[in-house]
C-alpha cells in the first residue's frame, strides 16, 4: 500500500482534489428540466411505456432503465447526481492510469469544463461518453486481442445518444471493414461473432431512431418536408456554426477567444493533413452534430463540449500528432473561464428555471388549476 501511494502521489493528490471539486459542484448545481423529466419517465411509466416514449428522445431506453430501480422504489431524485460523478471519476482514473499523456496535459483534461461540470454533474446519458471514449482508446491498439470487449464498448457508446453513431460507425468500418475487405482469416469466428454482438446492441438505439424519426416525428411534423428549410439549409447551417461558437464562449466573445479558436481550427486542419485516417472520427462526429443542430434540435453545450473529448480520443490513438496536443490545450484553456464562472454563480444565485417556475406556480396559480399547452407550442416557447 505504501509503495503504491509513493508511486502514485501526484495521481492520488489530483484525484482527491478532483473528487472534492466534483462533489461540491454537484451539490450546488440545480437540476435542469431534462434531468427531472428523465426521472419522471423512469418513475411513472412501465418498461413498455418507457420504450414507447423513446420515439421522442435521441437515445435508447437504457438510461431510463438505469434510473428505474431508484425511481420506482421511492428514492430521492438527488440519487441521480451519483451517476455522472462516478462515471467522470472512472474517466479520470482511466486517463491517468492508461494514457501516455504527460502529467500537465492529464491535469488540464482532469479539470476541463466537461469533466468538472457538464458531464461530471448533469444526470444525462452524455455523462457516459467520456469514460467510454477513454476506455475504448485505452484498448484501441489491442482490440484484436479483445474483439468482444471492443464490440460491447462500441455498442454501449452507440446507445448513449445518436450523436455518437458516427464515431461508432467509423470505428466499426476501420476494424471489421478491414476484415471483410482484406479477407483476413485470422480469428475468423471471433471477428464475425463480435460483430454480431455489436449489431445486436446497436439495434436498441437503431429501433428508436427508425421508429421515432421516420414513423412518428417526421410523419407528424413538416420540418424535414419544408421546402424552405431545404432551400435555405446552407444558411441555417452557417448560422448554427455561429450559434455553437457563441455557446463555447458563453455569448461573451472577445478578441482573445476569437484568435484562440482560429488557432485551434488551424491546428486541427494541420492535424487532419498529417493524420487524415484517424481525423475522420473527429470530423464525422463534429459535422454530424452541426447537421443535427441545424435540422432537428437546438444547440446545447451538453452536446457541443463533447467535441473536445473526441479530439482527445483522436490524440490518444495517435499521440505522435503534436498539433493535436496544442489544439487540445488551447481549446480547454479557452473554455475553462466560462465554466468556472458558472460554478461560482451557482453558489451565489438561484439559476434553476425549474425552481423559478415552481415558485411562480406556487405564488400565482391556485391549487387544482389545470394548464393546457400543446407539444408544438411548448417547443415553440423553447426556441
pLDDT band at 321 (very low <50, low <70, confident <90, very high): confident
For 129-170, the pLDDT digits (tens) are: 999 999 999 999 999 889 999 999 999 999 888 889 999 999
What is the reported pTM?
Answer: 0.85
For 180-212, the pLDDT digits (tens) are: 776 655 567 788 889 999 999 888 777 666 555
**H/E element holding 165?**
helix 165-172
Is residue 340's pLDDT more than 50?
Answer: yes
Mean pLDDT taken over the chain: 81
Q: Of how many residues is the chain composed?
A: 383
Give the separation between CA 138 and CA 120, rounded to whole angstroms. Answer: 20
Give the separation between CA 169 and CA 175, rounded to whole angstroms. Answer: 10
pLDDT attached to residue 58: 61
Q: Are 365 and 291 spatial neighbours (Cβ–Cβ below 8 Å)?
A: no
pLDDT attached to residue 263: 93
Q: Are 332 and 113 spatial neighbours (Cβ–Cβ below 8 Å)?
A: yes
For 249-293, the pLDDT digits (tens) are: 655 567 888 888 889 999 999 999 999 989 999 999 999 988 887
Amino acid at each position: 500500500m505504501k509503495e503504491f501511494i509513493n508511486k502514485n502521489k501526484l495521481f492520488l493528490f489530483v484525484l482527491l482534489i478532483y473528487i472534492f471539486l466534483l462533489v461540491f459542484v454537484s451539490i450546488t448545481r440545480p437540476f435542469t428540466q431534462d434531468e427531472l423529466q428523465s426521472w419522471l419517465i423512469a418513475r411513472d411509466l412501465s418498461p413498455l411505456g418507457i420504450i414507447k416514449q423513446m420515439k421522442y428522445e435521441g437515445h435508447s431506453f437504457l438510461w431510463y432503465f438505469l434510473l428505474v430501480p431508484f425511481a420506482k422504489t421511492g428514492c430521492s431524485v438527488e440519487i441521480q447526481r451519483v451517476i455522472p460523478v462516478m462515471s467522470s471519476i472512472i474517466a479520470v482514473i482511466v486517463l491517468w492510469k492508461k494514457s501516455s499523456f504527460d502529467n500537465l496535459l492529464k491535469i488540464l483534461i482532469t479539470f476541463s469544463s466537461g469533466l468538472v461540470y457538464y458531464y461530471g454533474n448533469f444526470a444525462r446519458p452524455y455523462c457516459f461518453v467520456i469514460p467510454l471514449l477513454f476506455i475504448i482508446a485505452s484498448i484501441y491498439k489491442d482490440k484484436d486481442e479483445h474483439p468482444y470487449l471492443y464490440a460491447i464498448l462500441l455498442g454501449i457508446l452507440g446507445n448513449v445518444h445518436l450523436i455518437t453513431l458516427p464515431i461508432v460507425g467509423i470505428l466499426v468500418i476501420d476494424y471489421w471493414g478491414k476484415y471483410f475487405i482484406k479477407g483476413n482469416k485470422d480469428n475468423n469466428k471471433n471477428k464475425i461473432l463480435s460483430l454480431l454482438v455489436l449489431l445486436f446492441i446497436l439495434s436498441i438505439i437503431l429501433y428508436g431512431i427508425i421508429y421515432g424519426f421516420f414513423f412518428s416525428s417526421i410523419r407528424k411534423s413538416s420540418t424535414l418536408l419544408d421546402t424552405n428549410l431545404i432551400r435555405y439549409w446552407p444558411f441555417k447551417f452557417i448560422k448554427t456554426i455561429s450559434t455553437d461558437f457563441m455557446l463555447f464562449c458563453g455569448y461573451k466573445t472577445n478578441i482573445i477567444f476569437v484568435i484562440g479558436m482560429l488557432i485551434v481550427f488551424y491546428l486541427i486542419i494541420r492535424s487532419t493533413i498529417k493524420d487524415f485516417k484517424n481525423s475522420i472520427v473527429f470530423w464525422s462526429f463534429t459535422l454530424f452534430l452541426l447537421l443535427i443542430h441545424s435540422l432537428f434540435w437546438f444547440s446545447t453545450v451538453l452536446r457541443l463540449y463533447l467535441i473536445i473529448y473526441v479530439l482527445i480520443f483522436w490524440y490518444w490513438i495517435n499521440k505522435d500528432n503534436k498539433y493535436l496536443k496544442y489544439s487540445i490545450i488551447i481549446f480547454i484553456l479557452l473554455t475553462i473561464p466560462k465554466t468556472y464562472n458558472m460554478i461560482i454563480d451557482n453558489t451565489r444565485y438561484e439559476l434553476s428555471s425549474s425552481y423559478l417556475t415552481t415558485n411562480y406556480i406556487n405564488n400565482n396559480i391556485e391549487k387544482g388549476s389545470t394548464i393546457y399547452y400543446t407539444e408544438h407550442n411548448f417547443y415553440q416557447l423553447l426556441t
